[in-house]
Amino acid sequence: MRWFYNSANQFYMWDVTHLVTIITILSLYGAFYVFRHTLQPYRNIIRITVGITLLASRISLDIWYITTGTWNIHTSLPFELCSIASIACAIMLLTRNRFLFETFYFIGIAGAIQAIVTPDLLFGFPQFRFIQFFTDHFLLILAPLIMIWLYNYTITKWSIMKAFITINVIAIFVFIINTLTDANYMFLIQKPTSASLLDVLGPYPYYLLALEVIAIVIFIILSLPFTYRSKQ
């Protein structure tokens, strides 16, 4: 069961395994885009399968926490941004909800990219937690891409505002949870102990204000493909 839990096998950011994982993920996105027309007849199967897999990923993580004795109210509840986004994207895929698509296209992709590049992760490959972490974030980005490439969903001029308001409402809710549980979900109380992009944004609480600005900038960048396409 060393693959399931082995604290001696640690994750090292940007080592060969991490870089290979990133390249593999990017290659899968590229292949999905290239074969998007071929996949059209199977789009409902793909959509439902990915939606169920996202939910199963979260459930499997809870099982892992419990069976390894690492479940902790301060770290194990599904209140990290990517955990919230994964559940929302699963619901979005299963229901084809357009509001969830519009908002979590931005929130999910922005959060997952940061997590994949600078993971807050302790366990190295091939442990369960490593595989679950990168699979979950890979699918988190793939979820809105499925709706774009296979269902022709699109972003409107109001989508950025919807996403920005949504992420701040989520932050308020999670801040209350942090206060009640003495936790640090979404890093709203302090920065993560491991290296991350937050390290260059100043001390608390100024990095939270910087994140607001960065969120807007990233959301605008993510909207550019739709702006370009609308002018074609």
The gap from C-alpha 128 to its chain's centroid, in whole angstroms, comes to 18
Give domain status of residue 30, yes or no.
Answer: yes
Over residues 9-55, the pLDDT tens digits come to: 899 999 999 999 999 999 999 999 999 999 999 999 999 999 999 99
The gap from C-alpha 219 to its chain's centroid, in whole angstroms, comes to 14
% of residues, the chain, pLDDT over 90:
80
pLDDT of residue 4: 84
- Rounded to the nearest 5 percent, the helix, strand and coil shares of the chain are 70, 0, 30
Concatenated DSSP letters for 25-82? HHHHHHHHHHTTTTTGGGHHHHHHHHHHHHHHHHHHHHHHHHHTT---TTT-SS-SHH
**Tokens, residue 153:** 């969903």
| Res. 202 pLDDT band, cuts 50 70 90 | confident
Give domain status of residue 3, yes or no.
Answer: no
Q: Is the per-residue pLDDT at 152 higher than 60? A: yes
| Structural domains counted in the chain | 1
Mean pLDDT, residues 75-86: 95
Mean pLDDT, residues 86-93: 98
Give domain status of residue 8, yes or no.
Answer: no
Q: How far apart are the first and last CA of the chain?
A: 54
> Does residue 225 have a cis bond before it (omega within 30 degrees)?
no
Give domain status of residue 222, yes or no.
Answer: yes
pLDDT of residue 38: 97
pLDDT of residue 148: 97
Q: Is the per-residue pLDDT at 6 higher than 70? A: yes
The better pLDDT of the pair 204, 41 is held by 41
Give domain status of residue 1, yes or no.
Answer: no
Rounded Cα–Cα distance for residues 58 and 136 (Å): 8
Give domain status of residue 81, yes or no.
Answer: yes
Write the Ramachandran bin of 152: left for phi over 0, alpha for psi from -120 to 50, otherwise beta: left
Give domain status of residue 130, yes or no.
Answer: yes
Contact predicate 130/22, CB 8 Å: no
Which amino acid is residue 207, in one-letter code? Y
Give domain status of residue 145, yes or no.
Answer: yes
HSE (side-chain half, CA atoms, 13 Å) at 15:
7
Mean pLDDT, residues 173-199: 85
* DSSP letter, residue 226: H
Question: What is the SS3 assignment for 121-174?
Answer: CCECCCCHHHHHHHHHHHHHHHHHHHHHHHHCCCCCCCHHHHHHHHHHHHHHHH
Q: Considering the chain, what is the average pLDDT of its residues? A: 92
Domain region containing 199: 16-230
